[in-house]
Amino acid sequence: MRRIAFILLCASVSVWVCAAAPKTPRPLPNMTIPAPLGAKPIKLSSYAGKVLLIAVFSTECETCIQTLQLLERMQKEFKGKDVQVVGAAADPAAVSILPPFIDRYRFTIPLGYLTEADARRLTDLTNPADRLKVPAFLFVDKKGNVRFQYPGDDDFFDQTEMNTRGVILGLLGQ
């Protein structure tokens, strides 16, 4: 009886882990991220041939703001190389909050917003019980495949700058 209970426990844990961990590599969904009024929508396929870092964030998250500021600096550092950083706000009211947010922090990287359904599609969260943890990073190779994805609670963010730079350089070298 204990053996059956153990097997059932292991099976349920492995199903949970599979559901919570998005598949990588996987093709980047063919999406256009809406941008605030007056800004050009972010067509993800237009970055084919570049290493693309998509940061999914919340405008109300202090860690997200600091992370976007870091990515802003890194985009300038990688200027002239085949690297593009974009951000997508996933808060429910992002459509109205994003313009003053961009003005306040003076971000120049392309920023847009996602509905919950589009955020789930982009990050490959198929289980309705799974919650998006921000900031979340998706690293896309030059061929348009999501090679790495890190939710906001991943150890990756313990050393965000070093880890981000390492992944970008690794993808540039391919």
Q: In the chain, which residue ranges form alpha helices assigned H by DSSP? A: 2-20, 62-77, 94-105, 116-123, 160-172
Q: Which of 146, 111, 117 is nearest to 41 (CA)?
A: 111
In angstroms, what is the C-alpha Rg of the chain? 17
**Considering the chain, what percentage of its residues have pLDDT values greater than 90?**
85
Q: Quick one: pLDDT band at residue 20, thresholds 50, 70, 90?
A: low
* Rounded distance between C-alpha atoms, residue 33 and residue 53, angstroms: 14
Q: What is the pTM of this model?
A: 0.88
Please state the separation of Cα 46 from the chain's center in Å.
17
Q: What is the DSSP letter of 44?
A: G
Q: In what order do the strands lie in the sheet with 26-27?
A: 26-27, 145-150, 136-140, 51-57, 83-89, 111-113
Please state the separation of Cα 27 from the chain's center in Å.
14
* Rounded distance between C-alpha atoms, residue 100 and residue 33, angstroms: 18
pLDDT in the model for residue 96:
94
Given a cut of 90, is residue 53 above it in pLDDT?
Answer: yes
Pairing of strands 51-57, 136-140: antiparallel
pLDDT in the model for residue 43:
98
- Both tokens of residue 151? 């939710």
Model confidence pLDDT, tens digit, residues 80-137: 999 999 999 999 999 999 999 999 999 999 999 999 999 999 999 999 999 999 999 9
* Rounded distance between C-alpha atoms, residue 137 and residue 63, angstroms: 13
- Both tokens of residue 111? 């920023």
Instruction: Provide the Cα torsion 11, 149, 26, 141; round to 10°.
Output: -150
- Cis previous bond, 135, omega within 30: yes
**What domains lie within the chain, and their CATH numbers?**
24-172 (3.40.30.10)
pLDDT in the model for residue 14:
33
pLDDT in the model for residue 54:
98
